[in-house]
Structure 1
Amino acid sequence: MKIATYNVNGVNGRLPVLLRWLNLAEPDIVCLQELKAPQENFPEHAIRAAGYQAIWHGQSRWNGVALLSRVGEIHETRRGLPGDPDDVQSRYIEAAVGGVLIAGLYLPNGNPRPGSKFDFKLRWFDRLHEHLGTLIDLDAPVIVAGDYNVMPTDIDVYAPERWREDALFAPEVRAAWQWLLDQGWTDAIRHLHPRDTIYTFWKYWRGAFERNAGLRIDHFLLNPAAAARLVAAEVDTRARGWEKTSDHAPVWIELGEAKQKRRRKIAAQEHL
């Protein structure tokens, strides 16, 4: 099963790019962020014509998250992160799809720092940690994917010395990320590529993409059941080089069969 996350930076304005990438990459499940579209303006018909079912949590002008599937029905389990009834921002959606639990998120940016936006980011991280604590020990694979707006370590950012005061690289934010790892979640990209230079976002100006002056801020966190099935994790940089594209690139992982199921298949083949 191939699962992807993609901050599209405007689902309607970038729809040709998204559809082109879906046709090329053929992911089974996709988490989208930064739809920048109210609920009624999500391009459902175009997505369905591309072979995908969809659920989405839209918001006018900003935010917005969606889940797409071509491998079965999407059974929504949560819309919005719990813990703050006053939070009306569309940043979290969760569903059961094809035997796995998928959560798609768009974590707050937090700039300027210090300030109310940074405080909101830290509170959102706290709420995320609390909610994911209820999912970490599930027997089923759980995947939490999206734009986390955090560079976990120095190797996740080009010229880290220039980012020390930014909300995406603040010590408190990096500590909040580590708190999730300490909870038992696996960073899929770093699990398979522990020392490689890998970025998922490049600014539009000064030839950042061409110079590979980027950031790694789009992540997959896997619970133990999902991590045990992880066989690949990569960034698809092709889409970032297209015209009128997002400043993010899609990130994808591949899950293999569960070990128990694989053992049964091997045993059946040996019996034959």
Structure 2
Amino acid sequence: MVMRAPFKRQRNQPTLWRISLKLATWNVNSLTVRLPHVLDWLTANQPDVLCLQETKQEDSKFPYAALQEAGFNAVHNGQKTYNGVAIISPHPLQDVHLDLPNFVDAQKRIIAATVLGVRVICAYVVNGQALDSEKYPYKLQWLEALHAWVTDELTQHEKLALLGDYNIAPDDRDCHDPVAWEGQVLVSPAERAAFERLLALGLHDSYRLFHEEAGQFSWWDYRMAAFRRNMGMRIDHILVSEALKPLCLDCVIDKAPRKLERPSDHTPVVLTLANA
């Protein structure tokens, strides 16, 4: 069953027209631990959509009341201890869909909704663990199913955004040390090929529309002072359909939450779109 908080309009929010739309994705690595960070970030940034991954909560534990009090609607697809995805918005969330329809899987990794005419898909892609792990072929099969489903979604929704933790660094610019990571998950040729196949559907990596440089990351290990030393990976992405590409105004990685006490190992990626 889809669980949602009742819609509550933000104070001073325009009712008829908005100059721009702000879409964000954030792997929070336990919403139980990071809820204060999320509420503060929502208040400060006022996104139109925030997609969360790794909530690590059952639907019954999801903080609908706290989000409603802050003025946000929410839908959640969760499970105890692992995975879990959510979409949060001050706007109505319509046509909500859970899970990949073409892939039998107990893991809660997909939720989709239509917000202000944009089809928003929140995805938490399988990590894969290691190339010799049984979780690696599972990752590739899951990505194949995602590709097939998104193909179908694009036929129904011209304006589509696929946000989430992809657990894929698309090329060497997105890895702090490509040589050290060679032969590991997140950077393997098969994973990168799966990412390229998504782009071949007519999707665009919104961050790369504005930033071509290397060394820009969204995830840093907790160990070895990785954040301070910028030993990270860009594995959190917002892909947009051809219809949304000309509306993209900017895409940034917001590193501020990674500097907080007890942060997630990921930080938000935020896309601003012109409203049209």
TM-score by length of 1: 0.91
* C-alpha deviation, 1:106, in angstroms: 0.1
Q: Distance in 2 between matches of 1:227 and 1:197?
A: 24
Which residue of structure 1 lines up, in the alignment, with residue 175 of structure 2? Answer: 157
Note the aligned Cα RMSD (angstroms).
Answer: 1.2
1:124-147 Cα distance to aligned partner (Å, 9 max, x none) = 110011111113355641000000
1:97 aligns with 2:134: no
Contact 2:27–2:165 under 8 Å retained in 1 = yes
SS in structure 1 of the partner of residue 123 of structure 2? strand
What fraction of aligned residue pairs are identical, expressed as a percent?
A: 37
* C-alpha deviation, 1:65, in angstroms: 0.1
SS in structure 1 of the partner of residue 145 of structure 2? helix
Contact 1:136–1:185 under 8 Å retained in 2 = no
Equivalent of 1:109, from 123, 127, 135?
127
SS in structure 2 of the partner of residue 136 of structure 1? helix
1:80-115 Cα distance to aligned partner (Å, 9 max, x none) = 012123x11100000111111100000000012223
Q: Distance in 2 between matches of 1:55 and 1:10?
A: 16
Which residue of structure 2 lines up, in the alignment, with residue 44 of structure 1? Answer: 64
Answer with 130-139 or 246-255: which moved more: 130-139
SS in structure 2 of the partner of residue 78 of structure 1? strand
Answer with 248-257 or 132-141: which moved more: 132-141
Which residue of structure 1 lines up, in the alignment, with residue 186 of structure 2? Answer: 168
* C-alpha deviation, 1:197, in angstroms: 2.6
Answer with 209-218 or 190-199: which moved more: 190-199
For 1:113, the aligned partner's letter is L
For 2:97, the aligned partner's letter is R
1:80 aligns with 2:99: yes
For 2:68, the aligned partner's letter is R
Contact 2:174–2:214 under 8 Å retained in 1 = no
Q: CA distance change for structure 1 residues 110 and 139 in 2, over 3 Å: closer, same or farther?
A: closer
Contact 1:158–1:213 under 8 Å retained in 2 = yes
SS in structure 2 of the partner of residue 135 of structure 1? helix
Equivalent of 1:26, from 46, 50, 62?
46
Which residue of structure 2 lines up, in the alignment, with residue 10 of structure 1? Answer: 30
For 2:241, the aligned partner's letter is N
Aligned length: 256
For 2:275, the aligned partner's letter is E
Which residue of structure 2 lines up, in the alignment, with residue 262 of structure 1? Answer: none
Contact 2:119–2:157 under 8 Å retained in 1 = no
Equivalent of 2:231, from 193, 196, 213?
213
Contact 1:94–1:104 under 8 Å retained in 2 = yes
For 1:23, the aligned partner's letter is T
SS in structure 1 of the partner of residue 262 of structure 2? coil
Q: Which runs of 5+ in 2 are unaligned?
A: 1-20
* C-alpha deviation, 1:76, in angstroms: 3.4
SS in structure 1 of the partner of residue 258 of structure 2? helix
Contact 2:87–2:111 under 8 Å retained in 1 = yes
Q: Distance in 2 between matches of 1:159 and 1:27?
A: 33
Which residue of structure 2 lines up, in the alignment, with residue 228 of structure 1? Answer: 246
Q: Distance in 1 between matches of 2:141 and 2:118?
A: 27
Q: Distance in 1 between matches of 2:116 and 2:220?
A: 32
Q: Distance in 2 between matches of 1:157 and 1:179?
A: 20
TM-score by length of 2: 0.90
Equivalent of 2:142, from 101, 124, 144?
124
1:59 aligns with 2:90: no
